[in-house]
Amino acid sequence: MLELGSEEERRAAELEVATLAKLDHPSVVAYHEHFLYEDAAAGQSLCLVMAYCEGGDLARLIKTHAEKVPMAYFGEPQILTWFVQMSMALHYVHSKGILHRDLKSQNIFLSHGHAKLGDFGIVKVLDGSVTSAHTVIGTPYYLSPEVCKAQKYSYMSDVWSLGCVLYELCALQQAWTGNNLLAVVYKIVQASHP
């Protein structure tokens, strides 16, 4: 459910619906329909009806495996299967001129063991005349160096984020951590990682 308080929120919701409606790929969470919900106290909200992913999100599964003693690492065949599915989904949305801009393990859902890309709430649609974006947006742990440096970025920024998800699948922890946003950004831009 998306709150529709401001005109900006309304435009963002309309873009998300338009984006979801045109996506049709086995590794992308399927959009079914949307409707407006009126609440006297809260105002108007947009409700999206998406395919149900009974397996939850990848972040929850990674956390469950990391909490086991000893840690229960995923097998290489499983990681490769999910990685190929995520790569194919990302290739598909990029072929439609769409930057996801918030690719992270919380936005990858599991349905019958199949990884599906979802949550297109902050997408950027690039038309033929625009080949990069410059708004700093996304989840800090998955930001590319270009985004951290407030430089223009393009599809490769999503690929960087996918690499961060791959690291997380293999290591059961995020590649970049820190006590605050600045510390995370510094590590992404300056640090090398094992």
Give the three-class secondary structure for 33: strand
- Asked if residue 138 belongs to a domain, the reply is yes
- Per the structure, the count of domains in the chain is 1
Tell me which of 24, 39, 57, 102 is the catalytic residue: 102
Joined together, the tokens standing for residue 38 give 């009126």
Kindly provide the b/e burial profile for residues 39-74, where b requires at least 16 CB atoms within 10 angstroms of the residue's own CB. Answer: eeeeeebbebebeebebebbbebbeeeeeeeeeeeb
pLDDT at 106 over 60: yes
Which domain CATH number covers 77? 1.10.510.10
- Asked if residue 11 belongs to a domain, the reply is no
Mean pLDDT score, 58-82: 96
pLDDT at res. 80: 98
Other beta carbons within 10 angstroms of residue 84's beta carbon come to 12
- Residue 123 belongs to domain spanning: 53-190
Residue 82: burial class (beta carbons within 10 Å; 0-12, 13-18, 19+): buried
Does residue 102 have an active-site annotation? yes
- Asked if residue 38 belongs to a domain, the reply is no
pLDDT tens across 34-62, in order? 888 888 777 777 788 899 999 999 999 99
CA dist 118 and 28 (Å) reads: 6
Average pLDDT, the chain: 84
pLDDT tens across 135-193, in order? 444 468 888 888 788 888 889 999 999 999 999 999 999 988 888 888 888 888 886 66
CA dist 139 and 152 (Å) reads: 17
- Asked if residue 68 belongs to a domain, the reply is yes
CA dist 82 and 117 (Å) reads: 11
pLDDT at res. 28: 96
Higher pLDDT, 72 or 190: 72
Mean pLDDT score, 125-141: 51
pTM over 0.75, yes/no? yes
- Asked if residue 21 belongs to a domain, the reply is no
Name the one residue in this structure whose structure tokens are 């998955």. 142
- Asked if residue 39 belongs to a domain, the reply is no
CA dist 190 and 194 (Å) reads: 13
